[in-house]
Amino acid sequence: MNILVCIKQVPQSESATVINADKTWIVRGGHVEYKMNRFDEYALEEALLIKERLPDVRVDVITFGPERCRDVLKRAFGMGADDGVHILSHDNRYNDPGTLAVQLGREAAKGSYDLILTGIMSEDMMQAQTGQMLAENLGWPCVSSVIGLDLKEKRAHVKRELEGGMKSLVRVTLPCVLTIQAGINIPRYPTLSKILKANRKEVKTVPDTQIDPLQSCEVIQYPAKQRAGVVLQGSREDKARELARILNQKNIMR
């Protein structure tokens, strides 16, 4: 069985956000520190657990982005991934989920994969669409928000999370795409021996395909700071009645 895990490099949450002069995207300079997307770590760990349970399983990883994104591939190798593909992009612009799905799908179609895993979303954009669009481009079935996975005879028995605390059980035929929810497992730390091997491992680098983006970012800006205070006047009873009226008006007490 061959498994492909899509991973993404995202900024550390405490990194400062700097908007470019055109207000069309974010400046990614030396002031920013990066890491592997947390949700993708769960997806990679799930693939590695499958590799440990079943014989003849290969786990590859793929990422899209500039040269610095090779670091997440090396971390994936340190965790236990076998091989990696880096779709190299030099453009510092907004990449919509549809465009990413096309780029990832073209590389995924070149391999004989039985299963593709992605995180449910990325920590920076939180759109939760790339995995589903990737499945659509490949013509594969897709199950999202996966919190449990068991593979049996070319089928995936999947437990997925629904709203309101509900869960559903889904049986899907391989090949398929699954988007993994946080909490399905506990991602492992890279081991020293595997990190040393990762530094010697070659990464397959391919240029990104120049396609017209399906979406574009028209403008990006910081949230406007709005502070409006109201000073209540009168007796304590008057202030209480006025406060209750304001809260009711804003649907806070309903």
Kindly report, residue by residue over 157-166, the tens digit of the pLDDT: 999 999 888 9
pLDDT at 215: 86
pLDDT band, residue 253 (cuts 50/70/90) = low
Task: Supply the mean pLDDT for the chain.
Answer: 91
> Domain 2-207 has what CATH class?
alpha beta
At 254 the pLDDT is 54
Check if the beta carbon of residue 137 is closer than 8 Å to that of residue 105: yes
User: Is the model's pLDDT at 39 over the cut of 90?
Assistant: yes
Query: For the whole model, what pTM was predicted?
Result: 0.85
CB count within 10 Å of CB 254 equals: 6
Spell out the domain ranges in the chain: 2-207
Give me the mean pLDDT over the 65-74 stretch: 93
| Backbone angles phi and psi of 252, in degrees to 5 | -80, -30
Taking the C-alpha atoms of residue 186 and residue 34, their distance in angstroms, rounded to an integer, is 21
| 155 pLDDT higher than 90 | yes
Q: How many CB atoms lie within 10 A of CB 86?
A: 21
Tokens, residue 21: 């002069």
Answer whether residue 201 shows pLDDT above 90: no
136-149 pLDDT, tens digit each: 999 999 999 999 99
Identify the DSSP state of 253: -
Q: Are 121 and 39 in contact (CB under 8 A)?
A: yes
